[in-house]
Amino acid sequence: MTKRDEQRQATRRRIVETAVELLVSSGVAATTSSAVQRKAGMSRGALLHHFPTHEALLAATVRRLVEINEETAKKVALARLPTDDAVTVAIRTLRQVVESPHFAAELSLWAAASTDPVLCEVLRREEAASRRDLYRVVDEVFGTELAARPQYPAAAALTVVFLRGLALSRALASARGADRLTEEWAGVIRAMLEDGRTGPPVGGRAETGGRESG
């Protein structure tokens, strides 16, 4: 790689990191291409060279948020305390991830997409690309023994949807209420995984956050 290539990559990274920072601190509406350009301290032409459209910039921002959330999950998983109740630990761990500022920023994009067809299409595309990484992290947090159980794919998909919903309602719910719901959900998933029956197919549920088949 030439020095010029390294400079281009460094500039692209700076733009994306600036967009992520702006999204986390100021929200979706404030994360415009012009705002990112000003905050990054670069010319309009430099930004457009790397991201010709705002949609392209948002797509790269979503990819970076997914990476950061994956890194957060790994750090939380490594720091968790040993326990016999692997299901509760897994769900508590994933809850810490969805309550992080970067995950909240990702959710804010989804909320905004409900009234923005262009943004919605960007997010659908990026979600499809990142889903495998998301469930790899979920599998790692639950562990090999739980992930091998027949009902695990459905349990993992439902847990992702539950935690996203819990994160979205965080502003309206008390911490105690969220803790209670988390413990109750752990009980539901524990019972589900202890049931040895093979449940209905769970592939292809892109609309609800489930993993795609294939």
Q: What is the DSSP secondary structure assignment for residue 29, as one 8-state letter?
A: T
CA atoms within 13 A on the CB side of 18: 19
- State the pLDDT at residue 206: 38
What is the pTM assigned to this prediction? 0.71
Instruction: Give per-residue pLDDT as tens, 88-145.
Output: 888 988 888 888 888 888 888 888 888 888 888 888 887 777 777 778 888 888 988 9
- Asked if 21 and 39 touch (Cβ cutoff 8 Å), the reply is yes
Segment 140-153 shows an average pLDDT of 91
Please say if the pLDDT value at position 14 is more than 90. yes
Model confidence at 87: pLDDT above 70:
yes
d(Cα 107, Cα 98) in Å, to the nearest integer?
Answer: 9
- Which DSSP category does 121 fall into? H
Q: Which two tokens stand for residue 192?
A: 């589900």
